[in-house]
Amino acid sequence: MAPESTTVSENNTLIQVTATTHFPIKLTATNFPVWRKQVESTLLGLDLFKYLNGTQSAPTKLLPDNKPNPEYTAWFRQDQTLISALLGSCTETIQPIVSSATTAHQAWNRLTASYASASRSRTKLTISRQLDHPNIIRLLGYCKDEHKCLLVYEYMPNKSLDHFLFTNAHGIVKPLSWATRVLIMRGVARGLTYLHSEKLGYNAKLGDFGLVKYGWEKYFGSENRSKYPFQLDILSSPLPSYMTSCHLSLKNDIYDFGVVLLESITGRREYDPNLPDEDQNIVGWALQIQSNGKNVKEVMDPRLGDNYPLQGASECFALALRCVAETSNDRPSCEEVLQSLDQIYRRSSPVKSWIKIF
């Protein structure tokens, strides 16, 4: 390991800036956790990791008297040395991710995000290839190179649920009937029940939820939960329990399911910035409707008109609100959700065909 030292003077105090220019292990597409650990341990020992994690921000270039700021000079040299160290520690295929970064913090974030994307693809592949259920879309194959992994799923001619719920808002597609909406959500509940109850060692979300692996420790270790918060971006909605603890649980699936059930009932998106501030988030808006004691007709998708059973709609709305309860212990299990939807569906008009969604 070859150190580089630069000495600058500030208020008669000598500041010694030392940078490592070499890491023994090269970063490849598959060894990020090991590589990251060696970088962290090396730079923490030199009190330099603060440049990567963003706690050491850039001083101003100039002093109040417009003279060059020696602190900035020291920071800049150190930061650029670390960028070079990161670049030199990457294989040629990884180097383009770092090469255009202007700060070490930016380079570190890009590498972390790139690994997050690759790990998500590998996790989806690992999970999907083992699943076999009528309500879970089937993985047909995959194609991957050093940077990307493309997953090929079975063709879904009926497209996605949001296509029917939200494209319909412009009158392009015929709205889904009430019975069809309940049928679709019942199918999603069946898929989730299969994943929750078969003790597969992991859990996944269906369709627009994306795939989220809950057997986290099996792949990354329990100690890394808080170290890799970037996994949050694969959740379709901000779970209160995750936002406070960074821990996932089976009941988080139920929360996401409740959000989609609310979308199916109301025809509204989870978040709509075009609405007044208090109505933009569908969960907050629905809870406000409930607390005000308003009739369920206030929340129903207007494109349904009066073509739905009032009792079934009320039960669905109440079920959705249970699913999005802030405390996970207050949310129902998948079995309870499926049982409730089965009862609601039996009282709805029958539909000849079933729809599997992605």
Tell me what pLDDT residue 148 has: 67
Q: Where are the domains of the chain?
A: 3-120, 155-346
Q: In the predicted model, is pLDDT for residue 339 greater than 80?
A: yes
Burial class, 203, CB count within 10 angstroms (exposed 0-12 / middle 13-18 / buried 19+): buried
Please give the distance of CA 251 from its chain centroid, rounded to a whole number.
Answer: 16
Mean pLDDT of 165-172: 65
Provide the pLDDT for residue 153. 82
Q: Whole-model pTM?
A: 0.59
pLDDT over threshold 90, residue 324: yes
Residue 233: pLDDT band (50, 70, 90) is very low
**Contact of 10 with 75, CB cutoff 8 Å:** no
Euclidean distance between CA atoms 234 and 256, whole angstroms: 12
Confidence of residue 282 (pLDDT cuts 50, 70, 90): very high
Nearest CA to 116 out of 201, 235, 222 is that of 235
Q: Is 254 helix (H, G, I), strand (E, B) or coil?
A: helix
Tell me the C-alpha distance between 247 and 35, whole Å: 25
On the question of pLDDT at 296 being above 50, the answer is yes
- Structure tokens, 282: 């569908």
Percent of the chain residues past pLDDT 70, beyond the cut: 73
Radius of gyration of the chain (CA): 26
Question: What phi and psi, each to the nearest 5 degrees, are found at residue 27?
Answer: -80, 125
pLDDT at residue 177 above 80? yes
Tell whether the model's pLDDT for residue 1 goes beyond 70.
Answer: no
For the cut 50, the answer to whether the pLDDT of residue 127 exceeds it is: yes
Non-local (6+) Cβ contacts of 113 within 8 A are: 230
Give the CATH superfamily of 155-346: Transferase(Phosphotransferase) domain 1 (1.10.510.10)
Mean pLDDT of 101-109: 91
Helix then strand count (H, E) for the chain reads: 13, 4
* Alpha-carbon span 352 to 358, nearest angstrom: 20
% of the chain with per-residue pLDDT over 90: 27
